[in-house]
Structure 1
Amino acid sequence: MAGKPINPLVKTALEMGPVVGFLVAYIWLKERVFTIGGTDYEGFIVVTAGFIPVMLIATGILWKLTGHLNRMQVVTVVLVVIFGGLSVWLNDDRFFKMKPTMIYLLFGATLGWGLLRGQSYLAYVMEGLMPLKQEGWMILTRRLTGFFFLLAVLNEAIWRTMSTETWVYFKTFGLTAAIFAFFLTQARLFRDYGIDDPAD
């Protein structure tokens, strides 16, 4: 189910807007400490608290406009609520920083489970975007499974050994750039295993 058509700019704004907003708010508030109910909260925690409803609203609007959310979007929102909520509730930024790790581990494990069953779950999610032969889907799924596990390890290394500011920039730009670069490196696979549409 692909959902209703939507202006690509609107779709991008709804998907990336909360992330960009998080970055801007963090840069603005990172040095500040807020006392709420007798408890001190660093700017990162306050920004995280604001990010959760913004993410929910943006995802809700996207769902309203398209009538559809893919599984990755749903899982991401659920983990944002869980780990972001834990960070705010416990006043501990580690939980939110672990969120990308959990996302990539879950995606990697899901794709890996499909591979063990001789299936490419990736094909179910992306077949409409990239028509590939079955062998191509299996190769891409194996590579992406390993890549997701690598990103999970990398996120853990960054947030555990570097500053919060470094992690925010890594999460906003580094992870996005890494995924973009990964698919760029698969150009040969798309060429060799792509399915030409006779209607084109």
Structure 2
Amino acid sequence: MYEDFGEIRADVTDRLTHAVTDRSVPMHTPVVATADADARVMVLRGVERGGWLLRFHTDARAPKVAAILCDPRIAVLSYDKQAKIQLRMRGRARIERDGARVEEAWAESTNFARRCYLGDAPGQSSPVPTSGLPEAFETSEPADAQLVPARPNFALLMVEVEEIDWFSLAHSGHRRALLTPDEARWIAP
């Protein structure tokens, strides 16, 4: 049971940082909700500044991109069932399509992952069930040259976390704290 804000901040940083590299932990795939109340599960790809900047990969053509451009408010919800720790994070989102961080993320992705950006735009209608991928890449990995048209569709969703609502469930009594980069306070669960 955490009783100190420093321990809580360290726990948040450790959990999120670990979630980036360990696909088996629950916080690897948080729920991300845009201001239009549209929520989806996304893969956490990067954490900077002790958990106050989160990085996700997205398709630049996705409806969430337009929603973020209209209203950058965003929420990210992570829950670790085994540890009984919930993180409700609120902040501002931005879409990055170009720059060193985007190029680095693209370069670190596998060709199998990059193939997703070759397909139809997310949400595009189809008369039949579809993965949206070109048929040639349904089960195969494209070569680098075949991925050139995919790169313009790749973008980063960056979340500047402004507030973390940390909640720990425990039989001995739940604990809840509200954290900002500069302050922390206990609140009733």
Do Structure 1 and Structure 2 share a fold, with TM-score over 0.5? Answer: no
More helix by share: 1
**Normalising to structure 2: TM-score of the pair?**
0.26
Task: Indicate the structure with greater strand content.
Answer: 2
